[in-house]
Chain A
């Protein structure tokens, strides 16, 4: 591949996902402060500002930021109640934390020049594995070996059950994979698309107005996608939780 290309087309769409140390040096250790660390930290700061500081007044007539916090709270609570039932509300803090973290990380990742932490499978993989392990443990704690009824579908005809057993087992263990890659893939693909259009704009000179409109449109779409992906991650967590609480089909 030619590295010295002429014409302005030299924006590499994947460069924005490179993890690099903030304070000099090129080596990465587990304690190195990278741009990843910075944006994860900013995510937590924004969540604390929104959910702790802004509701500190506990006003009867909420301020703007307090009402945002209240709307999100009520939204997640209703989602859990609809999907996992009344029992699921016990796990509300965990699911709400997941939703807030993913939503805020996605949204601040959309800022120009920022780093999208959720575009890395490392981050989403940890979140998805945490959900997977805790849901599996919860299922066995609640129902003992009865949890395995999730794989042995009683309502299906008997000859079909072994086949369904295989399908169910595979789909169960593929969950953390699809759960994490869905989020990371959507984030990565969307941001890369914006960068590709930016590369077109750089190469076209005065005709760049068309790609710039395209960037605006894609950016609007991305704003929708980041919220929907946070929603989808959370709602799938609720579905898995529901499976653990009520394993019979």
Chain B
């Protein structure tokens, strides 16, 4: 058990940053779940809104990706 305490801190920080992805998972699930709830009530209107759903997913996902980016920066960029 030897090593650099800085490396340890970076790896722990990267792991902590990845918890942010859980938030993105909740967000994406919320978007799709609400889309499905609406689509089951009015299936006729659902087909026209799938593009909107994907845009919503993409925006929700972007914030999770920033946490992934922080993890990558901590591991490789310093």
Which residues of A are interface residues toward B (Cβ below 8 A)? 79, 82-83, 177-178, 181-182, 185, 189, 228, 231-232, 235-236, 239
Nearest chain B CB to A78's CB is how many angstroms away? 10
Known A178-B65, A181-B65, A185-B68: A79·B51 in contact at CB below 8 Å: yes
Least CB separation from B61: chain A residue? A182
Q: Encode contact with A along B32-67: 1 for CB under 8 Å, 0 otherwise.
A: 000000000000000000010011011001100110
**Residues of A close to B66: CB separation below 8 A:** 178, 181
Point out the residue from B51, B55, B65 that lies within 8 Å of A182, measured CB to CB. B65
| 29 intermolecular pairs with C-beta atoms under 8 Å apart | A79-B51, A82-B51, A83-B51, A177-B69, A178-B62, A178-B65, A178-B66, A181-B65, A181-B66, A181-B68, A181-B69, A182-B61, A182-B62, A182-B65, A185-B65, A185-B68, A185-B69, A189-B68, A228-B54, A232-B54, A232-B57, A232-B58, A235-B51, A235-B54, A235-B55, A235-B58, A236-B55, A236-B58, A239-B55
Q: How distant is the Cα of A228 from the Cα of B66 in the complex, in angstroms? A: 19
Which residues of B are interface residues toward A (Cβ below 8 A)? 51, 54-55, 57-58, 61-62, 65-66, 68-69
Q: How distant is the Cα of A239 from the Cα of B62 in the complex, in angstroms? A: 15
Q: How distant is the Cα of A247 from the Cα of B57 in the complex, in angstroms? A: 23
Q: How distant is the Cα of A231 from the Cα of B62 in the complex, in angstroms? A: 15
Q: How distant is the Cα of A178 from the Cα of B54 in the complex, in angstroms? A: 15
